[in-house]
Amino acid sequence: MKTAKQLNLTLCPKCHKLNSLKAEPQQCSRCNGKFYQRKRNSLQYTLAWNLAALLAFIPANLYPIMIVYQLGIGDEATILSGIGEFIDHGLYPIAVIIFTASIIVPLLKIIGLFVLVYKAYTGIRLKPDKHSKIYHILEVLGPWSMLDVFVVALMVTVVELGFVTSVAAGPAINYFTITVIFTMFAANSFDPRLLWDKKADKKSVIQAPSLSDNLSGEIPRNKG
Amino acid sequence: MNNKINTSLFVACQQCDALYDKPHLKQGQLAKCNRCGSTLIERKVDSIERSFNWSLAGLMLMLPAIMLPIMGVTLAGQFHQASLFDCILVLIDRGFFMIASLVFLFAIAVPIVRLAGALYISYSFKFNKLRPSLLNFFRAYHHLDNWAMLNVFMLGIVVSMYKLIDDTELSVNLGLLAFIFWLICSTMSAVALDQDYIWDKLEKAFAKAEVQDENS
């Protein structure tokens, strides 16, 4: 199967118009936007955003995310202890939803993107069809981990009865939003076409071993 | 390699870069990539008309959805209710600037801008008022694709209602209804907008870049 890259064509990421590659950055003949054949330094950017997200995820779990004041006495809860409270109260569906949205999804996304970057870089046991599906799922899941932030925002607003009961947001909420936004940036900067490029590269190396072996280890990256 | 390929006869997959002959689709048909299974081109039914109506309805619902109180609590004889707008005011008031700006951006600003953008684009197509600035406008519109989180906010409302119903008296207001309709309208207007069709039309209308290519 031919790819656009082999024929020296590039696809505009915004309007999906095929352009014949002249110079990088290429200007799209349809929407006049500038773009590169592959996202530039895609793997490095993904890795960097991902690491930042992972770092921010640590304080997000250690600090309290919500503080409930009842008659002036504060009760702090982290993400995990909040989920524990739901289980104690018997609110299992909510516990499952919150646990999925604020622990499983961010972790899955960070780990998944690390794996994808590793596979796209080394090409070890790379199955582009499977891995691009994984990428698609990770991309769709992203915004849903924002759930916890919205819940806390709503609780702070609605439960505001002066001295009797009020809710305050803890410092963890900031770290948590940073985590979520950084994972979204990481997913956006990953280019799934690199997976297919790598696979095609490996195949051509096997078919024609006379090509220099050093080239096969290099990421198909664009010069700017 | 032959550089004189007529690029308008081909399409490439956005996910895997595989190259195909451009299919001729009827309304309601879509073409999928053989290799990775993602959608190549989709031709939506009655796209302009639909997205115009949905986005108009969405913009009309915007004010009630934001200003009407979504839910209220009664606890120890005190009653307090909050709308989406109150939500932001309270958050700013109590010093949670980061969540306040996030809620404002993802649950108010981005959906409104997207609705207004969809309305403007479908309006220009409906009444045939195509301007070259639409190219830039529609390109910028795509930047917001990932950042509208009304559906997540809706789930947030459900979760916090579930939370509050346990130990307070919860009342649901008209604002929730308006918010749900707003969510439906903004989702539908984004779904109904047929990007490939719009880009094709825009290309035909302003094909000056193409002409320059052939001259050079």
Give residue A192's pLDDT band: very low, low, confident or very high (50, 70, 90).
confident
| CATH number for the domain that contains residue B71 | 1.20.140
Kindly state the tokens that stand for A92. Answer: 């299992």
Residue B111: its pLDDT value, please?
A: 92
Do B61 and B12 fall into the same domain? no
Kindly state the tokens that stand for B31. Answer: 């073409």
Q: Which residue has the higher pLDDT, A22 or B108?
A: B108
Whether the complex's predicted ipTM is more than 0.90 is answered with no
Q: How far apart are CA B10 and CA A15, in angstroms?
A: 14
Residue A46: its pLDDT value, please?
A: 93
B122-154 pLDDT, tens digit each: 999 888 888 888 888 888 888 887 788 889 999
Residue A53: its pLDDT value, please?
A: 94
Kindly state the tokens that stand for A33. Answer: 């936007």
Asked if B94 has any chain A CB less than 8 Å from its own CB, the reply is yes
B40-89 pLDDT, tens digit each: 888 888 888 999 999 999 999 999 998 998 888 887 777 888 888 888 99
Give residue B208's pLDDT band: very low, low, confident or very high (50, 70, 90).
low
Does pLDDT of B213 surpass 60?
A: no
Q: How many CB atoms lie within 10 A of CB B31?
A: 18
Mean per-residue pLDDT over chain B, rounded: 84
Asked if B5 has any chain A CB less than 8 Å from its own CB, the reply is yes
Average pLDDT over every residue of A67-73: 84
The helix or strand, by DSSP H or E, that contains position A192, with its residue range, turns out to be none
Structurally, chain B folds into a number of domains equal to 2
Asked if B152 has any chain A CB less than 8 Å from its own CB, the reply is yes
Give residue A224's pLDDT band: very low, low, confident or very high (50, 70, 90).
very low
Give residue B1's pLDDT band: very low, low, confident or very high (50, 70, 90).
very low
Residue A216: its pLDDT value, please?
A: 43
Residue A94 and residue B162: Cβ atoms within 8 Å?
Answer: yes
Residue A223: its pLDDT value, please?
A: 40
CB nearest B16 (choices: A128, A160, A188): A128
CB nearest A129 (choices: B36, B103, B168): B36
Which residues sit opposite B82 in a β-bridge? B71
Q: How far is B57 from chain A (nearest CA, A)?
A: 25
Do B25 and B118 fall into the same domain? no
Give residue B21's pLDDT band: very low, low, confident or very high (50, 70, 90).
confident
CB nearest A150 (choices: B103, B164, B213): B103
Do B209 and B168 fall into the same domain? yes
Q: Which residue has the higher pLDDT, B165 or B2?
A: B165
Residue A32 and residue B209: Cβ atoms within 8 Å?
Answer: yes
Does pLDDT of A83 surpass 80?
A: yes
Task: Give, to the nearest 10 degrees, the angle between helix B84-93 and helix B47-67.
Answer: 50
A202-215 pLDDT, tens digit each: 777 666 544 444 44
Give residue A124's pLDDT band: very low, low, confident or very high (50, 70, 90).
confident
The helix or strand, by DSSP H or E, that contains position A209, with its residue range, turns out to be none
Do B60 and B150 fall into the same domain? yes
Neighbouring residues of B21: CB distance < 8 A, sequence distance ≥ 6: B9, B10, B11
Neighbouring residues of B81: CB distance < 8 A, sequence distance ≥ 6: A158, B69, B70, B71, B72, B73, B171, B173
Do B177 and B142 fall into the same domain? yes
Do B189 and B84 fall into the same domain? yes
Do B95 and B153 fall into the same domain? yes
Residue B5: its pLDDT value, please?
A: 66
Domain containing B200: what range?
47-215
Residue B38 and residue A147: Cβ atoms within 8 Å?
Answer: no
Does pLDDT of B7 surpass 80?
A: no
Do B100 and B22 fall into the same domain? no
**Percentage of chain A modeled with pLDDT above 90:** 25
Residue A91 and residue B152: Cβ atoms within 8 Å?
Answer: no
